Each structure stands twice: as structure tokens, then as C-alpha cells.
Amino acid sequence: MYFYAARQPILDRNKELIGYELLFRDGVDNVFPDIDGDEATSRLIEGSQFNFGLEDLTDNKPAYINFTLDTLLKGYPTLLNKDGVVIEILETVQPGKRLLAIVKDLKEKGYTLALDDYAHQPVWRHFYPFIDIIKVDFLTCDIENVKTIIEDLKPYPHIKLLAEKVETYALYNQAFELGFEYFQGFFFSKPEMVQSKALPPSGMALAELLYETSSVEMDLKKITDVFERDVNLSYKLLRYSNSAAFARRFEINTIKQALIVLGAAEIKKLLSLLFAAQVSADKPLELIRLSLTRARFCELLAISHGKLRDTGIAFLAGMMSLMDAILDEEMDSVMLKLPLSNEIKAALLNNEGLLAEYLNLVTLYEQGNWHAANDKAQQLNLGDDVPDAYHEALNWVSEQMQIMIDN
């Protein structure tokens, strides 16, 4: 039996990752929410217990998991490590004596508790002493209701407010000013403002290398010369070639040898990683993680699909799809600075071509929009490979992040 889930990041006021909400799906055809919340939670817990640990899906950060009243009554939260999970009580659960008893018991056992999609009712005040996080949907809750919630929570300073469905910097800034501690949504993956941000010299050099490696026949000598002139680049290359991803059978003695051992596809990945790291030093690390996940996800879709001569172009398209947020300017301006192929530019600027189809599917998956994602996967004839590609991408990113950020 397959187990599938996607994740959405939760950041703090410093835009640092504190956890992921897990979104469940049951295969390609039977997609949530066509199954009820009880089954979704049951499958999610079953998968985490018997297929892989939650820490593999959340990079050792807490997993925010939805629970219905029935799954709470059955004691499912206690199957999970209290230090690795946040118990989200779904908005469909009505406050009452049974729920209050469960909440008290879980709190005594040391679990972190959250109210999901909170709709303010006076009766919830009985729960406040035992609740750690209250999640407010910023797309549906008007500002006056938010202020009422904040006022009622003043006697309970231990409760943290989490703004969810925060998709723009305007919403993020609004929640920030209101005192929210945590933020869920992809606001960090959009430009903060339209401005001009010059690429540093090292970034330009890497952009040129990306262009050099975009052709089928790479100029190995030219690429080797660039690496040999830059100590930092050489170190990153050797670290990458020495990672667990490669089973080397001999020692590497030269930069050229390292490049040959890696091969064209891995060189393209490395250069994309380094470029993203160079130009995003002041951005949330989760933005880079999302860029890498998109890159690897797109590449794996392309490999499975078998429609592209060079699947490395899908990797590069996925990586560049968030470059507007990394540089804080519109994508058309970004594309003028980068010597990328017309195929990539058509996807990123005009949503045209097969690369755009991959990117659209990836975005739907990130959002947990299972119905649309399923329709897109069927249109592309990708079969059952999409969820597996997503999980493989997450695992690959976890392995690569330390290489990218290590100095």
C-alpha cells in the first residue's frame, strides 16, 4: 500500500522554519478530501509508523497533524512522539466536555495542542489553559474578529497565534504587526517588493556557468578553468563529489577529474545549488529548500515522463521558478539578467511548454490541491510516479542542504 503526503512550512517572526503541516493523500486516484478526516488522519499515522518516520518528511521539525474528534477519542495522538508532533484539533470539532477531557489528558502527557482554523466562541475559553497555538485563517477571518481573538487571549500569554494561508507579504506584514508569532503559507516565495538587486560578481560567474552547461555538449575546459580560479567553488565541488550520493571507486586528484566523475547532470545541479546560495544569503532558508525541492521534483517528473532529451533543463527551470522571490523583483526583469534558454524563459514568463506543465503540477502539489494535481498528472500521463517523486525530492534536498550552506 502506498502512503502519500505533502507538507507546508510554518515559519516564525524571524522567517525561520519551526515545523510543517502535513497534508495527506491516498494515492493518485483516491485523493483527499474524498475520504473523511478520520481516515485521512488514520492513514497519516499508519504511514508514519510503518512506512517511514515523520522526521524524514519534516527534516526533524515538528509535524502539525489534523485530528478529528473520533481520532482523538481513539487515542491516536499518543501513537506519536510528543516531541515530534503538534496536535491540531480540526475546526469541525465542537467544543464540549468530551473534547475538554481529551485536551487536558494530552496536555498532561506533554503534547503540544493547536486549534485549527479557529472560529471564535466564548466556550473555547475553557480550553485556553491547555492550548499552545491558535491558528487563524487570514483569507477568511476579518480584521475585527482577529482583534477580538487577540483581546480575549491577553490573560493567556502562553498561547501563540499562527496566521495560516498567508500567501502575500501584505498579509504577512499585517499578521506580523498584530503580534502573530507563526506564519503558514507561501508568502516567502513571492517578491517582497519590486526593486533592482544587482547580482554579485560570483553570482554572475555562476550564471554564466549555468548557461555553459545548458548545452548538450559542455565545454569541460572552460568550466574547469572557472572552478580552478575560485577556491570556494573548488571546495564546494569536492564536497559535493564526496557526498553520500556518489559511490566513488577512486580518489579524486584534480578539479577536472571531479567534474568528469560527477558528469553533466550532476554538474548542472551543483551549479544551480551554488547560484541559489550566492544570491539568497538574506532570504529565509525555507525559500532555498523549496527551490531545491521544485528543481529535483521537476527533474524526476521529466525522467519519468521521458519527453525531454535533457532532463537537467527541468531541474534548472524548477530552481529558477522562485528566483523572483530570491532577488525581490519581477520575473521578466530577472530573466533579463540570466542567460537561460528560451524554453525555460517561456515556462517562467509565459507559462508555456512542457516545463510549465511540470511547474504547474509541482505548485498544485505544494498547495495540497489534490484534485487539480491529479487532473494534471493524468493529462501528462505520469501515472503513480508523482507522489514518489515528491518524497524522493524531499529526501534529496535534505542530503544537499548541508553541502549548500556549509562554508
Over residues 12-16, mean pLDDT: 93
Same domain, 118 and 223: no
Same domain, 237 and 328: yes
Kindly report each contact of residues 311-315 with a partner whose C-beta sits within 8 Å and lies 24 or more positions away, as own/partner.
311/265, 312/213, 312/264, 312/265, 312/268, 312/269, 313/214, 313/341, 313/343, 313/344, 313/355, 314/355, 314/358, 315/268, 315/269, 315/272
Same domain, 215 and 185: no
Same domain, 208 and 299: yes
Last residue of a domain, one of 146, 169, 189: 189
Same domain, 150 and 258: no
Over residues 44-51, mean pLDDT: 50
Does residue 195 lie in a domain region?
no
Q: What is the pLDDT of residues 348-357, one digit of tens each?
A: 999 999 999 9
How far apart (Å, rounded) are the C-alpha atoms in residues 291 and 194?
A: 20
Q: What is the CATH number of the domain that holds 18?
A: 3.20.20.450
Same domain, 345 and 378: yes
Is omega for the bond preceding 122 within 30 degrees of 0, making it cis?
A: no
Does residue 339 lie in a domain region?
yes
Residue-number span of the structural domain to which 128 is assigned:
4-189
Same domain, 315 and 366: yes
Does residue 194 lie in a domain region?
no
Q: What is the pLDDT of residues 110-135, one digit of tens each?
A: 999 999 999 888 899 999 999 999 99
Q: What is the CATH number of the domain that holds 400?
A: 1.10.3210.10
* Nearest alpha carbon to residue 84 among 65, 67, 69: 65
Q: What is the pLDDT of residues 84-108, one digit of tens each?
A: 899 999 988 999 999 999 999 999 9
Same domain, 180 and 213: no
Q: Which three cell numbers stand for residue 32?
A: 483527499
Does residue 46 lie in a domain region?
yes
pLDDT of residue 113: 98
Over residues 295-315, mean pLDDT: 89
Domain count, the chain: 2
Same domain, 350 and 231: yes
Same domain, 171 and 230: no
Where are the strands (E) in 116-156, listed by range? 133-137
Cβ–Cβ < 8 Å for 380, 405 = no
